[in-house]
Structure formats: C-alpha cells, structure tokens
Amino acid sequence: MVTNARTMDGSLEPAGKAGTWWFLSSEIPTFGGLLVSYIVLRLGGSGWAEASSHLNLNIALANTFLLLTSSMTIVMAHAAVQENDHKRAAKFLALTVLLGLSFLIMKALEYGVEIRHGFLPGSGIFWSFYYGMTGLHALHVFAGIIVNLVLCIQAARGSLAPNGHRIELAGLYWHFVDIVWIFLFPLLYLA
Amino acid sequence: MNDIAQKNHAHGNPRNFWRLYVFSTDHKVIAKQYLGLALFWALLGGFTAYLIRWQIAHPDTEAWGWGFIEPGVYNALVTMHGTIMVFFVAMPLLLAVFGNFLIPLMIGARDMAFPRLNMLSVWIFALASIVLITSFFVPGGAPAAGWTGYPPLSAKNEYTGGGYGVDLWLVALALEFASFLLGGVNFLTTAMNLRAPGMTWLRLPVLVWMQLIAAVVFMLSVGPIIAGAVLLLMDRNLGTTFYAPAGGGDPLLWQHLFWFFGHPEVYVILLPGFGIILEVLAVFARKPVFAYRPIIYASMVAGLLSFIVWAHHQYLSGMDPRLAMPFSITTIIISVPFGLVVLSIIATLWGSSMSFQTPMLFALGSLGVFIFGGLTGIFNGSAPVDIYIHDTYFVVAHFHYTLISNVFFAGFAGLYYWFPKMFGRMMNEALGKIHFWLTFIFFNAVFGPMHLVGVGGMMRRISNPTQYDFLKPVEPLNMFITLMAILLLVSQLAFVINFLWSLLAGKVATANPWRSNTLEWTTSSPPPHENFAATPVVHRGAYEYSVPHAQDDWLPQDFDSDKASKAALP
Amino acid sequence: MSAQSRHYLIIWFWLVGLVVLSVAAAWILPKSQAWVLIFTVAGAKAFLVARHYMHLKDETWLIYAIALVPLAFVFVLLIALFPDFVYHLTRR
C-alpha cells in the first residue's frame, strides 16, 4: 500500500526542489560568513589593496565570463529537458562541464603564477583570504562539475527520462556557485 | 501528486541482514542506529565527566579505574566532554533519533522524502564518530583547546601539547554538520510534502513543529562555523593568518563565527526537547496542549531571536564593549517567548488528571530543572553581572541545568515513552521510577551547589583548584559534588539494565499502551516496514483529550466518528 | 530558438554588459565612487541570475523566504562585526 502525499492546503513544492533550496539556504551563510569576515577585516585593516594589485585581473575576467556563460548553458539544458529534447540537453550540459573545467584550469594556472611569484597562503591576511575563498569556491565548482557530468552522460544515454527535473536542481546549485563568484570577483580583484 | 515514497520503495521489502539492519533506508532503523551511537557516546561522555570531577575534588591523585590525570590530559577531557555531549549525544538523541523515528509516523507517511539521503546522513555521522574516536589515539592525543576551540590555543599545537587532535576534531565536526544538514533537508521536505490527507499544518503534533523549527535554525546558523572551521584548518596547516594578529588576522573573528552558530545551536537542542515534554505531558495529564498555536509562534520567534543574541558569550573576550548593551537587551528579550512556552506547559497541567508513570516523571522533572536553569540564564545574559560570573562554575551550573533537563530528562522521557513503539516491549516501570528519582536527586545535588562554587570564584577548566588559596572555601563543596556526580553516573545503570533487559524480555507492548491520540500509536508496536497498513486520514488535531461529553478521555487523530464503534480501538 | 531560450540569452547579454561596466568603473572612476557602482552591479547580476536563471520569479513565497532569510542573517552578522573589526575603540 502506498501513502498518498497530499496536503490539505494544496500548495506543494516538488520534494527535490524544496530540498535543494533548503540546502542552498545553509550554503548562503557559509559563504556569507566567509565574505563577511573578509569585508570587515579588510575595512579595518591596511595593505589589502596593495596585495590585491598583484592579482591577474585578466584571468579573473576570463573566469567570470566562463562561469556566467556556464550558468546560461545549464539553464538552456533545463529548457531543453522541458521540451523533452534530451540530446540537446546533453549537449548543453557538456558545454557547462567544459566551461566549468576551463574555469578550474584557469584557476590552477593562476595559482601557479602567484605561487611562483612567492604569494602563498601564509604571505599575509589578504592572501589567506584569497586562497581560502577561491579554494572553497573551486571545491564547490568541482563538485558541481561532477554532478553535471553524471547528468550529461545520463541525458546522452537517454536514461535521464523520469528524472529530468534533476537538471533544474543541478542548475540551482550551479547558479548559486556562480553567484558566489559574482561577489568574489569584485571583492578580490576590483576593490 | 507526489508519490516519492512509492518510488523510493520500489526495492520492495529487504530480507537479508545487511539491508535490514546496516544499510537500511528505513527511517525507523536509521533512528535506532543513531540511538546506538548516541548511547555509546553518552557512556563515553559520562566517563570523561567522572574523570573531570575526580581531578577537581582529588587533584593529582589516581582516579579509580583510570590512574593519574595530567593537566594536558585534563584539558583534553574537558574538551571532549563538551564536544561529545553537545554534538554526539544531544544532537543525535534529540534530533536524529526522535525526529527520524517520529516525523514520518506522526504525519502519516511511509518514510522520509529522501530515504537514501537519510541513510547517507547516519553513515556520515558514523564516520564523524570514527574520526573523533581516532583523535584519542593519535600522537598528542585528543583535542585540548576546549569544546569552543578558541585560537590561538587551537591554532598552534605547542600551546596544548597536541598533534593532530584539533584537526581531527574539526573534520569530525564538519562531518557531523554535514550529516545534520542533510537530515534537516530531509525533515523539512518530508513534513512539507508527505503529510497524510487531513493533516494540515495546525493539526501536527507539537513535536513535529519543534523538530522543523530546530532544523531551520540549524541550517541557517551552521554556515559561519563551517567557514570558521575551514579557516582554522588553514591556519593550522597552511600557514594562513586568519586568526593571528601578527599576520593581520584576529582571534575574535573565530569567536564571533563560532557563537553566531553556537547560540542558535543550543535552541536547536532545546526545542525538540520541549516537543517531547509537551507530547508526554498531554498524554499523561489527559489534557490538550494549552495554547498550541502561541507555543508554535513563540518557538518560531525564539528561533529567530536566537540569531541576534550570540555575543553574550563574549562580554569578556575583548569584544567592543559597545556591543554589550544591545546583546544584553536581545538576550533578555528572548526569555519572553520561552516564558510563554513554559507558562503554557504549566497551564497544560493545571486542572488536569495526571498519572505519574516514568515518562511523565521525567517530563515534569525536565520542566522543573529547565525553569531553574532558565532563571540563572538571566544572570549570565546581563553584561554587568556576567563580568563576575563569566568563565566560572556558575556558568557551568547554568548550562548543565538547561542542557541536562533537555538532553537527559526530556530524552529519557521520550525513550521511556516511545520505547514500546520502537521495540515492541514495555520498559520496567519500577526500575524506571528508581532511575528517575536517583537521577533527579543526584543531579540537583551535583549542579545545585555548583552555583555556589562559581559565585565563590572558581574558574572553569582549571585542573587543580587547591593550588589557589582563595578557592580553599569551595574545596568541601567540590568534594561533595564529585561524590554526588559519581552516584549520579552510577544511577544510570538503572536505565542501562532496564533498557537492555526490556529489549530482550520486556512485556510485549500493544499498539497504544499510553492511549495517545497521535498517529504513530494507530499502527503496531513496532510498526511494519511501510508504517501503516493503509494511509491514515486525519480528522482532527492531536490533543483531543478529556473532551467534555465525549465517551472516552481521548480521541485519536484518525478516528472517523461517522464510522465503526470505539470497540475497534486497542 | 524557443522564447524561453531567447530569454535566457538576453539575460546573458545583460550579465556580460554589467561585468564590462564594473571593470570600466574600476579603471575610470575614483575609488569611493567605483566601489559603490561595482557592488551595486554585483547585486544586480546576482539578482538577475537568481530571478531568471534560478526561476525565482515563478516560485512561491516560501522559496523566496528560504533564499532571503539567510541573506538577512548574513547582513546581521556583517553589521554586528563592524564595531570589533572596522571601528576599533582603540587602534589595534
């Protein structure tokens, strides 16, 4: 026998979507706490702008475009699934994965340049935050890439069919990661 | 219509040992796994308490059954006692055991919305437990920087004499947070989506509401401490300087991040305890919960306010003194919604017809102990008074009154009450009453006098109070407290024996031995894998007790008065 | 291309434009004016992504609450930390 999942007031969020948003609600204070710490320590400290000037704005700009575009491609994948075009969804997911990987590769190259110039996590408070925030963000990007890759393979094979809504959920997480970068970029590179 | 439950049960009924008891997605099995882990940690946490009390009363002597306690080891004991009790006993017992077991049953669902995620949660918690245990055995031993882990003490090993202990502590906590985050997602989605027909939000038992509010508070508060823990791990291992003033950082940053989480955390623990108390009181007083809706709204307000009181833990930390007044004010304000809840609990009992079985005794004991602890909170929350009592045993007495009332008294109330439903047997009533009275008397004997020790000036976390002349007057008190503490711990044997014996040979339980209205009692004890033979249909709220002119003093939520006679009821 | 997809593309153009705007502001404007514009732009970009890509504009009030309440708490944390770290009573 099966339990009917019906609520008297009628309003029902699909379980996966509600669950994903609840998860994001815990991620917001995590990155929020990190960014708040950066902001208050920076406003009260000195020498941060000088340290920031050693960062490579061009790489960061490229990364910003990569991530923004990947947000678009993943929501295009979601639109494709809504039209039942799983092949097109797979293509857009593949693009998203590629863009995400490019972001990580650029980040790794950027870290390499900075380390070669002697800017390590222990080189000062700005660098501590730089590596901490972008590192945690990169880990989140990596996790997102894995999820997107799995969904991409499933969509390409046609085995995604009953769970197409999962692309929207993966998208929600991916957009969140993009939004974090939207704030990291100016905080670290432009301010 | 969301047939999530059906999709997730497409595996059918598992039959082999591993799928049934180890890798189970059944919320009832998962709840028992959490219970086993929580009880294991409770024993270990209790043992650390014994060693701590021994050292305080008889410093630098050999504790029975252990031996000599070095100061470094003492610091580790204090750290582990707090960490274990808060994160590995209180959270799993009150939230994971009761939440997991009861939420689907109380709302009339087959299982949680995400059963496999649920299994992942308990396994992550088990992994966290293994990581924390490992910290006892690495070179340098268990973490010794306090359960609050303030840098620079926690940031540099040379200050505590430790090695990997703090790193393992941070990883264990991170895993534990991940486990409860996933659990919270599960609880909230389940309650939103899987309520049985007729189970509107305002017909839910109070316990479900409390679990949901606690889940939300936890999810919104845990972020900053996760960020802080990552930063501390980096400071310890990558040479960063987040908390090091020499490098431009600030130790106060950790304190703010920790307590921004730490304060809401105690309400995360508290609210489910209140939920248990209210369920038990309503049943054993045969009376509806008084002011059901105000209690829910007040608890939501309290949950909200809990986010703006945190710095009352930091009045003496070197924090900007201008923050003292606003946080004192918010701390006083938060006592208002809790006052409402407590008064409503008392009003529930007023004019009721109480019967004093063990669950009821523990619920009443919890209420009394909590009220006392809440009152001493007012002293701690006011900055001018806190200047004198911060970091003394007054604070220790305060939070043991509030925490033990919830974790242990309410926890025991819940365990004695729902044991029949969980295990299909009754616990022994006589042994239960003995357990209650011994616990209640010895608990007060331990922590009551402790207020005097604190006011007498004894600082927290010192391993040898006798080295200070000004603490000579409290020596006899300390020795008395230690003796009472040992007796308190030994009294828990009554529970352990009762629990184990009843599991094997307790009287077989009927479906509804307590004549309770809520849905979990409409199915067998223990429930079948799919919980209910047919989907319950709910017709009323959970507290129709002693309704005037009714035939009986209780009326189950799913009873259809248009249909068959009461004779069908157990 | 469907209307939905075209809509997503238009949002992307806006996002790219806003990035260019904020970088230009950083180069051209003096510091204090620049950061006001830069962080307003960041907020606008986040708003666009949240509302259009995360479909917040089609969601119920509950989802909005799940997204906005944590933000409010982060803001509380920010304000509360100003006295200790930004406005020291004594120079540290």
Whole-structure pTM value: 0.93
In this complex, do A24 and C16 lie within 8 Å of one another by their Cβ atoms? no
- Please check whether residue A85 lies inside any domain of the structure: yes
The answer to whether position A134 is within a domain reads yes
C54 and C67 belong to one structural domain: no
Mean pLDDT across B38-53: 97
Tens digits of residue pLDDT in B68-123: 999 989 999 999 999 999 999 999 999 999 999 999 999 999 999 999 999 999 99
Rounded mean pLDDT, B340-344: 94
B13 within a domain of the structure (yes/no): no
* Domain harbouring A170, CATH code: 1.20.120.80
Residue A35's domain comprises: 23-190
Whether residue C10 is found in the same domain as residue C34: yes
Question: Cα dist. B549→A163, B546, B553, C3 in Å?
Answer: 53, 9, 9, 64
Residue B409 in domain: yes
What's the total number of domains in chain C?
A: 2
B246 and A49 Cβ atoms separated by less than 8 Å: no
Residue A80 lies in a domain: yes
All residues of chain C having their beta carbon less than 8 Å from the beta carbon of residue A179 are 45-46, 49-50
Examine residue B483 and state whether it is found in any structural domain, yes or no: yes
Flag whether B14 is in a domain. no
Give the model's pLDDT for residue C89: 57
pLDDT at position B551: 84
* Parts of chain C with a pLDDT under 70: 89-92
Residues of A in contact with C73 (CB under 8 A): 29, 32
Tell me the pLDDT of chain B averaged across its residues. Answer: 93
Section B392-399 average pLDDT: 97
How close, in Å, is residue C14 to chain A by CA atoms?
11
Q: Is B327 domain-assigned?
A: yes
Q: What is the DSSP letter of B469?
A: G
Restricting to A residues 41-80, those with a Cβ less than 8 Å away from any Cβ of C are: 41, 43-44, 57, 61, 64-65, 68-69, 71-72, 75-76, 79
Cα–Cα distance measured from residue B451 to residue B394, given in angstroms and rounded to the nearest whole number: 5
* Distance from C-alpha of B6 to C-alpha of A5, rounded to nearest angstrom: 10
Same domain, C7 and C19: yes
| The predicted structure's pLDDT at residue B404 | 95
Domain that holds residue B174: 32-565
Residue B11 lies in a domain: no
Looking at residue B281, which CATH number applies to its domain? Answer: 1.20.210.10
In a domain, A29, yes or no: yes
Contact between A33 and B184 using a beta-carbon 8 Å cutoff: no
pLDDT the model gives residue B205:
97
From the list C9, C49, C87, the residue facing A175 with the nearest CB is: C49
| pLDDT score of B19 | 83
Comparing CB atoms, the residue among B201, B242, B535 nearest residue A3 is: B535
Which of the four pLDDT bands, split at 50, 70 and 90, describes residue B13?
low
Q: What is the pLDDT of residue B371?
A: 95
Nearest to B239 among A6, A32, A120 (CB): A120
Q: Do C22 and C46 have their domain in common?
A: yes
Report residues of chain A scoring pLDDT below 50: 1-11
With contact defined as 3+ CB pairs under 8 Å, the chains touching A are: B, C
Is the CB of C23 less than 8 angstroms away from the CB of A39?
Answer: no
pLDDT tens digit sequence for B128-179: 999 999 999 999 899 999 999 999 999 998 888 788 999 999 999 999 999 9
> pLDDT tens across B475-498, in order?
999 999 999 999 999 999 999 999
Q: Are C28 and C49 in the same domain?
A: yes
Q: Which residue did the predictor score with more confidence, B163 or B220?
A: B220
Residue A17 falls inside a structural domain: no
Same domain, C86 and C70: yes
The reply to whether C86 touches chain B by the CB within 8 Å rule is no
In a domain, B420, yes or no: yes
pLDDT of residue A45: 86
In SS3 terms, B181-211 reads as HHHHHHHHHHHHHCCCCCCCHHHCCHHHHHH
**pLDDT on residue B566:** 52
Does one domain contain both C44 and C4?
yes
Interface B:C, Cβ pairs < 8 A: 36
In chain B, the residue whose alpha carbon lies closest to the alpha carbon of C74 is B224
* B6, pLDDT greater than 60: no
Question: Does residue C21 share a domain with residue C54?
Answer: yes
Average pLDDT over every residue of B455-482: 95
Note down the domain range covering C68. Answer: 59-92
Tell me, yes or no, whether A14 lies in a domain: no
- Give B8's pLDDT tier (boundaries 50, 70, 90): very low
> Are C5 and C48 contained in the same domain?
yes
Task: List C-alpha distances in Å: B397 to B294, B443, B487.
Answer: 30, 11, 18
Helix segments in chain C, DSSP class H: 3-28, 31-48, 61-85
Under DSSP, the state recorded for B91 is I
Q: d(Cα C3, Cα B310) in Å, to the nearest integer? A: 49
C69, C54: one domain: no
Q: What mean pLDDT do residues B38-61 have?
A: 96
| Pair (C27, C69) in one structural domain | no
Domain total of chain B: 1
A32–C19 C-beta distance less than 8 A: no
Q: Do A26 and B201 touch (CB under 8 A)?
A: no
Query: Confidence band (pLDDT; 50, 70, 90) for B1?
Result: very low
- The beta-carbon neighbor of C86 closest among A43, A176, A178 is A43
Q: Is B10 inside a domain boundary?
A: no
The pLDDT, as a whole number, for residue B567 is 52
Instruction: Find which of B320, B328, B329, B331 to mutate to test the C interface (most C CBs within 10 Å of its CB).
Output: B320
Give the ipTM: 0.91
Query: What pLDDT score was predicted for residue B171?
Result: 96
Give the pair of three-digit tokens for residue B559: 């009873």
pLDDT above 80: residue B196: yes
Q: Is A13 among the domain residues?
A: no
